[in-house]
Structure 1
Amino acid sequence: MEIEIATIGGYEEVGRQMTAVRAGDDIVVFDMGLNLSQVLVHDNLQTEEMHSLDLIDMGAIPDDRVMSDLEGDVKAIVPTHGHLDHIGAISKLAHRYDAPIVATPFTLELVEEEVHDEGKFVVDNDLVEMEAGETMSIGERCELEFVNVTHSIIDAINPVLHTPEGAVVYGLDKRMDHSPVIGDPIDMKRFREIGREGEGVLCYIEDCTNANKKGRTPSESVARKHLRDVMYSVEDYDGGIVATTFSSHIARVTSLVEFAKDIGREPILLGRSMEKYSGTAERIGAATFPDDLGMYGHRKSVDRAFNRIMEEGKENFLPVVTGHQGEPRAMLTRMGRGETPYDLEDGDKVLFSARVIPEPTNEGQRYQSERLLRMQGARIYDDIHVSGHLRQEGHYEMLDALQPQHVIPAHQDMGGFSGYVDLASGQGYELGRDLHVTANGNVIQLV
């Protein structure tokens, strides 16, 4: 059986992920993502109303025209998890393919919301729910399997396409968390089995976000302990405390809500995406929040919540807001500009339970946001976080578990691939032979 891999997006940057695997006449597409930085540099860009070709030309979504070079039919579109760099282009591209979108429950809910908000295209692909540990047939000779992984969003999986020539493992995005705050640990037992059963692993496509960093990525339980320590340390402060984190990081949001209660403050979730992700997780039973937890996304309801906080006393509340990357229209940035009823004063604490994404647009916006906050007297508590991506020792463990015949680094630029190339070379892989450093728009024939 011929096996080809089209590296469509995410092989020259962090963002707009998309990969297609052709096994004989059957094709499976993994991820259709958005490059957020290409959107954020434009002020008030409404992607919902834009044509896919315009978004392709500006580098915001994958250029999927290379799909015409693959001889076969798309049988499934498989997003690995609900981050926008993996699902943000589904509403623009999925309608081109007569194939179902197959995903875990939380991811599928987020895809459905993206499709619902789309203003340019009608996306009527079937939505198929599949849990980690389950399988489905792809054509007559292949099988798709979901393996549970841990990431900075719940319900993440690594899909595996089992072919007669061996398994193709799509390894985006994960960290090795054996004590997660929400959900099950990473299923390393299953990865080791896949590496040793049948024809083994033909190809492993790996997330290289942190491949240049030594050591091992800590568990989310480590971030939880760090966050608890910081919040308990400011328990006696009688002014304002504000926290921000990734809206999609449900485990972190639940920790913030819990620790706010512990230090005698009422948590309130503020911002459109904060309401969206936490509300969705609660609705499908993936997370449990207190019955009285306020979640507000609409601008007027957010301002009403801020007015209530100011009237009843900032010392009684913990607003958990959007804006950890300094996004211009997010809640924290608006607070820094003085555009909300919430008054920041000398000594007020701002807790960043997130790292800035290492990309020039984000770094510039985050710097600007922090400057605005400090100008109002805020004290910044930074980097209360652990990454959702493997570092070098995690990559070593995955290669050891899977023992793939071929390896393709992804989810970085050429500089970001260097650490992974060094690691894989040390394990006997050779550039151009079985270690394939590629670019967007290429097709690699493995069999």
Structure 2
Amino acid sequence: MEIEIATIGGYEEVGRQMTAVRAGTDIVIFDMGLNLSKVLIHDNIRTESMHSLDLIDMGAIPDDRVMSDLEGDVKAIVPTHGHLDHIGAISKLAHRYDAPVVATPFTNALVEQELQDEQKFGSDSELITMDSGETMSIGDSGTVDLEFVNVTHSIIDAINPVLHTPEGAVVYGLDKRMDHTPVIGDPIDMKRFREIGREGEGVLCYIEDCTNANKKGRTPSENVAREHLRDVIYSMEDYDGGIVATTFSSHIARVKSLVEFADDIGRQPVLLGRSMEKYSGTAERLDFVDFPDDLGMFGHRNSVDSSFNRIMNEGKENFLPIVTGHQGEPRAMLTRMGRGETPYELDDGDKVVFSARVIPEPTNEGQRYQAEKLLGMQGARVYDDIHVSGHLCQEGHYEMLDALQPQHIIPAHQNMKGLSGYVDLTTNQGYKLGRDVHVSSNGNIIQLV
């Protein structure tokens, strides 16, 4: 059976992930993502009302024209998890393919909301929900199967999909870390990865996320970030001024910890911002998390400002707002607070907790720098980098290679500089660049069989 891999997006940058695997005449697309930095660099752009061709020209979503060079039919679109760099282009591109979206429950709920918000294109794609540990047949041959293997990441309900073919398995390894003690959900299923590496024809190809491939050591568990965050929040228990926290809206485990620790020090937590309301509300509705009954979630501008007014009237010392804006996004709550555009007034000594690292990309770095300076000019004390990454460092990569023992490797999810550490790592394990390690770029097709 002929096996081809089309590296469509995310092979020259972090963002707009999209990969297609052709097994015979059956094609499966993994991820359709957005490069948010290409959008944020422009003022007041709303992607939901834009044409896909304009977004492709901006470099914001994948240029999927290479799909016409694959001889077969798309049988499934499979997003690995609910981050926008993996699902943000589904509403713009899925209508081009007569194929269902197959994803885990939380991911599919977020995809459904993306499709509902879309204003330019209509999509009647069927949404098929599949849990980690399950398998479904792909195509009509009866020889190609799709399996979901549970992984841990900085968002709940993440998986690594595996396409089983007569020539061996294709493992799509974006995005994960090895967390054996997660705050929410099950640990990464390393037992199943080891089984896949040793059953049948083994692993034909492993496509790997190289975000932290230049970093030595091991990525810590989310429990490490939780305890660091606990220490920081508890240290503020006797402070009688304002405390504000921000983190990734999609990081439900981190939001859960912030909510619990706010309550522990006698403050009422409140979630503010459109994406904060979306992700946490969806997670609660699907029973992934159990928030207190009186936890407020407000996304609309008027309701957010009303909440800020209430906080100021009843006393900042009684509340802990958890807001959007960890990357300094111009329209996010924390940035507006720094510019003095909300009813919440920051005073000298007020605490601002960033439970997130800045994403290493020039647009994000510039915006985050500006946001922190604005907050500091109002007298806020900034607590930075209370976080652990959602991606493997070098020791995790070694462990995955040992578990899967792939014949071919395709590094992804980075630019050339970011891929270099992973190429060195695979070389140390006996692989060779150009022979079985294939450094690709967007729009390429790699024929493996």
**For this structure pair, what is the TM-score category when the shorter chain's length is used for normalisation?**
over 0.9
> What TM-score comes out, normalization by structure 1 length?
1.00
Structure 1 residue 237: deviation in Å?
A: 0.3
Q: 2:344 aligns with which of 338, 342, 345?
A: 342
Matched, 1:27 2:47: no
Amino acid at match of 1:345: D
Structure 1 residue 287: deviation in Å?
A: 1.0
Could you list the structure 1 runs, at least 4 aligned residues long, displaced by more than 6 angstroms after superposition: none
Secondary structure (helix, strand or coil) at the match of 2:275 reads helix
Q: Which runs of 5+ in 1 are unaligned?
A: none
Structure 1 residue 177: deviation in Å?
A: 0.1
Number of residue-to-residue matches in the alignment:
447
Secondary structure (helix, strand or coil) at the match of 2:45 reads coil
Residue in 1 that maps onto 2:78: 78
Amino acid at match of 1:70: L
Secondary structure (helix, strand or coil) at the match of 1:8 reads strand
Residue in 1 that maps onto 2:395: 393
Q: 1:323 aligns with which of 322, 325, 330?
A: 325
The whole-number CA distance in structure 2 between the counterparts of 1:425 and 1:93 is 36
Aligned 1:102-117 pairs, distance under 5 A: 102-117=102-117
The whole-number CA distance in structure 2 between the counterparts of 1:288 and 1:206 is 33
Aligned 1:2-401 pairs, distance under 5 A: 2-139=2-139, 140=141, 141-401=143-403
Structure 1 residue 359: deviation in Å?
A: 0.2
Amino acid at match of 2:271: L
Structure 1 residue 286: deviation in Å?
A: 1.0
The whole-number CA distance in structure 2 between the counterparts of 1:282 and 1:211 is 34
Q: What is the Cα-based RMSD across aligned positions, in Å? A: 0.3
The whole-number CA distance in structure 1 between the counterparts of 2:192 and 2:342 is 49
Q: Which runs of 5+ in 2 are unaligned?
A: none
Deviations 1:194-220 (A, max 9, x none): 000000000000000011100000000
Tell me which moved more, 48-57 or 156-165.
48-57
Deviations 1:40-99 (A, max 9, x none): 000010111111111001100000000000000000000000000000000000010010
Secondary structure (helix, strand or coil) at the match of 1:278 reads helix
Structure 1 residue 154: deviation in Å?
A: 0.1
Amino acid at match of 1:305: S
The whole-number CA distance in structure 2 between the counterparts of 1:431 and 1:212 is 17
The whole-number CA distance in structure 1 between the counterparts of 2:136 and 2:52 is 30
Amino acid at match of 1:434: D
Secondary structure (helix, strand or coil) at the match of 2:7 reads strand
The whole-number CA distance in structure 1 between the counterparts of 2:302 and 2:280 is 19
The whole-number CA distance in structure 2 between the counterparts of 1:94 and 1:307 is 42
Deviations 1:340-391 (A, max 9, x none): 0000000000000000000000000000000000000000000000000000
Amino acid at match of 1:192: R
The whole-number CA distance in structure 1 between the counterparts of 2:258 and 2:56 is 38
The whole-number CA distance in structure 2 between the counterparts of 1:53 and 1:405 is 37
Deviations 1:219-242 (A, max 9, x none): 000000000000001110000000
Structure 1 residue 426: deviation in Å?
A: 0.4
The whole-number CA distance in structure 2 between the counterparts of 1:27 and 1:257 is 43
Secondary structure (helix, strand or coil) at the match of 2:56 reads helix
Amino acid at match of 2:88: G
Secondary structure (helix, strand or coil) at the match of 2:60 reads coil
The whole-number CA distance in structure 1 between the counterparts of 2:115 and 2:57 is 21
The whole-number CA distance in structure 2 between the counterparts of 1:102 and 1:44 is 32
The whole-number CA distance in structure 2 between the counterparts of 1:253 and 1:264 is 17
The whole-number CA distance in structure 2 between the counterparts of 1:301 and 1:54 is 33
> What TM-score comes out, normalization by structure 2 length?
0.99
Secondary structure (helix, strand or coil) at the match of 2:256 reads helix
